[in-house]
Amino acid sequence: MASFIFSALGARGHLHPPISIARVLRERGHSVALYTSSHYRPMAEKLDLQFLPPVKWLDFDFTNLEKYWPDLAQVEGAGRSMHIYFKVFMGTAIDQAHDLLNYSEALKPDVLVTEPHAFGTQIVSLKLGIPWAVAGIALGVLSLPIIGQKGVPLSNQPFLYLAQGVPAFDAHKSNLFPQTHYVGGLLWDEGQQSDPQTFKLPQTDLPLVFVSLGTMFARESHLRKIVEAAVGQPWHLLISTSAKVDPAQLEPLPPNVTALPYVPYSLVWPHIAAFVTHGPAAALLGALGQGIPLVVTPLEADQLANADAIINAGAGLRLGLDNSTPAALQEAINGVLTDPQYRQAARRLQGELAGTGGAEQAATLLEQLVVQRQPILAASASQ
């Protein structure tokens, strides 16, 4: 059996791919350790993963970055994304590498696996000569200055890039390196482990439209707009408000709106007709895995590129929540519900995703990397 160390920033969206693959490898009998925020220690231990806590790396909770970098509270949009990139991702990379170097020397991993923003992994790989791989967190390849593109020095390229989704999401990109393998959805949903009796769907005969803006990005003002868009419409709105917004803040609600603090995605997908989301890969892939059309409302980071991928694939509509009216939201939701082209495209992607192998295929490729210890080229690149 082999040994793996996974690393990820402490945010659910960044942890979906590492956790989903790590679970499979652990079930196959491999030794698997996870290095991330201590906030996720209980989750790691529940899955029988060895937890590696930050020592020198700042043990921050990604859902409240302003607590650690107060100036982020003054910046929004693209400017905020750039601040996060340089302060959080790049600014903490050396401390992360320090911890990972010590853990790697102690555990002797065969392969290091990271998500695209945990840059310390690459530094340790170069230092110790350990093969490293990237588990993508966006739809397709997330091209960053350090990884993701041809022309980047070979020493900066991972031996393997596990891209979420299908090649269609990167059809417009011409500079992808040949170590890219598309493995569909790398999803971890804690709702899969919960008692279904604790969650009840709204009792309605109307088409169900699900809304989730995540934990980091949920805003009362945005959710109020979506609630207003539902007034008098022939569909029922189910909103997951997240810990940031109490459902009581949205009251009084129209009779065709239900607001809950938490809705487990895996339990709701089979029952909904459309999905309104800010655009994280896990949410988009979960919906597309059921052939559900989308209204994507990106705010920052990879959400923007993810929204473009959905629009280019024809599986939904894009709308900005900051400058959209309830009437525009209403029109977009009605559009994906009534125009068959969006559901047809979503179902086409559903079929393509079903043939990718998901976390099982990703784990198999990592096992191959243990043996090969050289970059694993995609079949299309090796022909």
* Whole-structure pTM value: 0.88
Q: Which residue is listed with tokens 């929204």?
A: 307
Six token digits for residue 95: 């401390």
Give yes or no for a contact between 81 and 29, defined as CB atoms under 8 angstroms apart. no
Between CA 81 and CA 342 the distance in angstroms is 30
Contacts of 153 (CB under 8 A, 6+ apart): none
Strand segments, DSSP code E, in 120-277 are 132-139, 160-164, 180-182, 208-212, 236-240, 257-260, 274-277
pLDDT tens track, the chain, 383 positions: 999 999 998 888 888 899 999 999 999 999 999 999 998 999 899 999 999 999 999 998 777 788 888 887 777 766 777 778 788 888 888 999 999 999 999 999 999 999 988 889 988 998 999 999 999 998 988 755 444 444 444 456 899 999 999 998 888 777 788 899 999 999 876 544 444 556 788 899 999 999 998 877 778 888 999 999 999 999 999 999 987 788 889 889 999 999 998 888 888 999 999 999 999 998 999 999 999 999 999 987 788 889 999 999 999 999 988 888 999 999 999 999 999 999 999 999 999 999 999 999 999 999 999 999 999 998 754 44
Contacts of 44 (CB under 8 A, 6+ apart): 34, 36, 50, 51
Cα 3 to chain centroid, rounded:
25
Six token digits for residue 324: 């959209």
Six token digits for residue 140: 């397709």
CA nearest to 357, candidates 367, 348, 346, 365: 365
